[in-house]
């Protein structure tokens, strides 16, 4: 094991959050109109949602089918999410327009940055680590990093659309390694989506760290942190193992 020299982060759901969580609002409204949704159903749906947005075959098909029709895309997503919650496809199709319209009208989240994020980034940069952001967004987002006062911490940011590769594909991680100037064995990747971030980092040989403050992936087979305050200790452990 080589000592970690670079730490790359996912953006949405890791460094940058939406409050309230869309999945929670979705389930709360579904329950309010009479749907019986257990905690097991909710967790299964969240796992499905993370898998869907990990450049799954389903989202690729849906984006192609609904290209230029954002409303149609989210209506179809609502149907899929209801099925993931345990509804029959017929009932999901009947309820999707009502729930999709509710989310469109009432879900107005605010951007939230975890309180320990800036302290961690300052510590990592001052400690000499190379830092970068790698996201499945379609367009560059450097201006957004400026708005949340994070641009000064990172050597680079990379969007999947810039290289036509999306996590968990290897190519986006390999391009990030080129930009960081480090080998895969010297690079850690921190993200909240097991299917995109952990699977993808492993495919490219990076050390994956799952950021999971609510224990959504309770059985994750990788390093897990519930807060950014835990990352320095994880790095110390890695340094020790590298020396050994």
* Per-residue pLDDT reduced to its tens digit, 53-94: 999 999 999 999 999 999 999 999 999 999 999 999 999 999
**Whether residue 175 sits in one domain with residue 87:** no
Q: Is the pLDDT of residue 18 over 80?
A: yes
Using DSSP bridges, classify how beta strands 187-191 and 156-159 pair: parallel, antiparallel or unpaired. Answer: unpaired
Locate 25 and state its tokens.
Answer: 């609002």
Together in a domain, 92 and 144:
no
pLDDT band at 244 (very low <50, low <70, confident <90, very high): very low
Same domain? For 90 and 130 the reply is: no
- Residue 35: pLDDT band (50, 70, 90) is very high
Statement: residue 32 has pLDDT above 60: yes
Residue 96 maps to a domain: yes
Does residue 173 belong to any structural domain of this protein? yes
What percent of the chain stands above pLDDT 90?
Answer: 95
Q: How far apart are the first and last CA of the chain?
A: 9
Could you tell me if 101 and 204 lie in one domain?
Answer: no
CA dihedral 166, 127, 181, 220 (to 10 degrees): -30
Q: How many CA atoms lie within 13 A of 123 on its CB side?
A: 12
Does residue 111 have a pLDDT over 80? yes
Starting at the earlier edge strand, list the strands of the sheet with 223-225: 156-159, 130-135, 6-9, 187-191, 207-211, 223-225
Residue 72 lies in a domain: yes
Element spanning 4, H or E = none
The predicted structure's pLDDT at residue 243: 40
Taking residues 217-237, report their average pLDDT.
95
pLDDT tier for residue 182 given thresholds of 50, 70 and 90: very high
∠ CA 88-91-93 to the nearest 5 degrees?
105
| 32 and 150 within one domain | no
Q: Are residues 150 and 70 in the same domain?
A: no
**DSSP character for 16?**
B
Q: Are residues 12 and 68 in the same domain?
A: no
**How far is it, in rounded angstroms, from Cα 243 to Cα 79?**
52
Q: What is the CATH number of the domain that holds 223?
A: 3.40.50.1000
Q: Is residue 172 part of a domain?
A: yes
Q: Mean pLDDT of all residues in the chain?
A: 96
Q: Which helix (H) or strand (E) holds 73?
A: helix 70-84
pLDDT, residue 1, reads: 57
Please report which confidence band the pLDDT of residue 241 belongs to, taking 50, 70 and 90 as the band edges: low
Looking at residue 190, its pLDDT comes to 98
Q: Compute the average pLDDT of residues 149-160.
A: 97
Give the three-state DSSP class for 244.
coil
- Of 87, 106, 125, the one marking the end of a domain is 106
Q: Is residue 196 part of a domain?
A: yes
The verdict on 59 and 140 lying in the same domain is no
**207 and 90 within one domain:** no
Give me the phi and psi of 128, to 5 degrees please.
95, 5
Q: How far apart are CA 241 and CA 219, in angstroms?
A: 24
Q: Would residue 1 count as lying in a domain? A: no
Residues 90 and 153 in one domain: no
Neighbour count for residue 161 (Cβ, 10 Å): 15
Look at residue 240 and tell me whether its pLDDT is greater than 50. Answer: no
Query: Percentage of the chain with pLDDT > 70?
Result: 97
Do 218 and 128 lie in a common domain? Answer: yes
Among 63, 81, 106, where does a domain finish?
106
Q: Total domain count for the chain?
A: 2
Confidence at residue 2, expressed as pLDDT on a 0 to 100 scale: 74
Give the confidence band of 166 by pLDDT, cuts at 50, 70, 90: very high
pLDDT at residue 238, rounded to an integer: 73
Taking Cα atoms as reference points, which of 103, 121, 123 lies closest to residue 113?
Answer: 121
Domain-embedded: residue 13: yes
38 with 137, same domain? no
Cβ-defined contacts of 115-118 (< 8 Å, 24+): 116/227, 116/228, 116/229, 117/15, 117/150, 117/228, 118/149, 118/150
Q: Which of 1-10, 107-116, 185-194 has the lowest mean pLDDT?
A: 1-10
**Domain encompassing residue 220:** 6-17+112-243
Which of 83, 106, 129 terminates a domain? The answer is 106
Q: Is residue 141 part of a domain?
A: yes
What average pLDDT does range 161-181 have in this prediction? 98
């Amino acid at each position: 094991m080589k000592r970690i020299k670079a730490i790359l982060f996912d953006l949405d759901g890791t460094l940058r959050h939406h409050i309230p969580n869309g999945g929670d609002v979705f389930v709360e409204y579904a329950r309010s109109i009479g749907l019986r949704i257990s905690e097991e159903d909710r967790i299964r749906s969240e796992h499905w949602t993370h898998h869907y947005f990990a450049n799954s075959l389903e989202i690729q098909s849906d984006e192609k089918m609904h290209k230029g029709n954002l409303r149609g895309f989210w209506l179809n997503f609502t149907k899929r999410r209801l099925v993931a919650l345990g509804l029959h496809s017929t009932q999901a199709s009947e309820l999707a327009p009502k729930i999709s319209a509710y989310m469109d009208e009432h879900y107005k989240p605010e951007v939230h940055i975890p309180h320990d994020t800036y302290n961690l980034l300052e510590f990592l940069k001052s400690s000499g680590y190379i830092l970068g952001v790698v996201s499945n967004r379609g367009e560059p987002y450097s201006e957004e990093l400026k708005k949340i006062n994070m641009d000064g911490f990172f050597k680079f940011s990379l969007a999947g659309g810039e290289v036509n590769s999306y996590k968990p594909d290897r190519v986006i991680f390999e391009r990030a390694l080129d930009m960081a100037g480090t080998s895969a064995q010297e690079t850690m990747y921190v993200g909240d989506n097991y299917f995109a971030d952990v699977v993808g980092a492993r495919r490219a040989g990076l050390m994956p760290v799952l950021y999971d403050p609510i224990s959504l992936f309770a059985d994750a087979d990788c390093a897990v942190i519930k807060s950014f305050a835990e990352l320095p200790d994880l790095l110390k452990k890695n340094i020790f193992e590298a020396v050994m």
